[in-house]
Amino acid sequence: DQQVKQNSPSLSVQEGRISILNCDYTNSMFDYFLWYKKYPAEGPTFLISISSIKDKNEDGRFTVFLNKSAKHLSLHIVPSQPGDSAVYFCAASSGGYQKVTFGTGTKLQVIP
């Protein structure tokens, strides 16, 4: 039972344009959501997070939007840069101290 789903395995975007990565979840108990970025042969690194009490969190070129009623979140990257090419994992947790559930990942390619 995949509680966190990233339905697009891959995405290609032109440099300078917006990248939108989507994530859906099924567990209504999730109250904290994170995005991680992973380059080949490296471990994932934390990118941005959002609490369920918010619907938007912004950090530079990265913005995460949360739609609780739809159980959907998205990561926007504007403008996209070639260095953003990586696999992006959506993750969710409940209760603050509980284990984190990851999605299957979306491979983003930013074309120069």
Q: Which residues bind other proteins (CB under 8 A)?
A: 4, 6, 9, 32, 34, 36, 41-46, 49, 51, 89, 91, 93, 96-97, 99-105
Query: How many Å apart are CA 23 and CA 32, to the nearest integer?
Result: 13
In the complex, least distance from residue 33 CB atom to other proteins, rounded to whole angstroms: 10
The nearer residue to other proteins, 14 or 45, going by C-beta atoms, is 45
Among 11, 10, 90, 20, which residue's Cα sits nearest to residue 50? 90
In the complex, least distance from residue 85 CB atom to other proteins, rounded to whole angstroms: 18
The nearer residue to other proteins, 72 or 79, going by C-beta atoms, is 72
Query: How many Å apart are CA 7 and CA 35, to the nearest integer?
Result: 15
In the complex, least distance from residue 93 CB atom to other proteins, rounded to whole angstroms: 7
Q: Which two tokens stand for residue 98?
A: 């509980």
The nearer residue to other proteins, 44 or 85, going by C-beta atoms, is 44
Judge whether 90 and 6 are in contact, CB under 8 Å. Answer: yes
Judge whether 64 and 57 are in contact, CB under 8 Å. Answer: yes
In the complex, least distance from residue 101 CB atom to other proteins, rounded to whole angstroms: 7
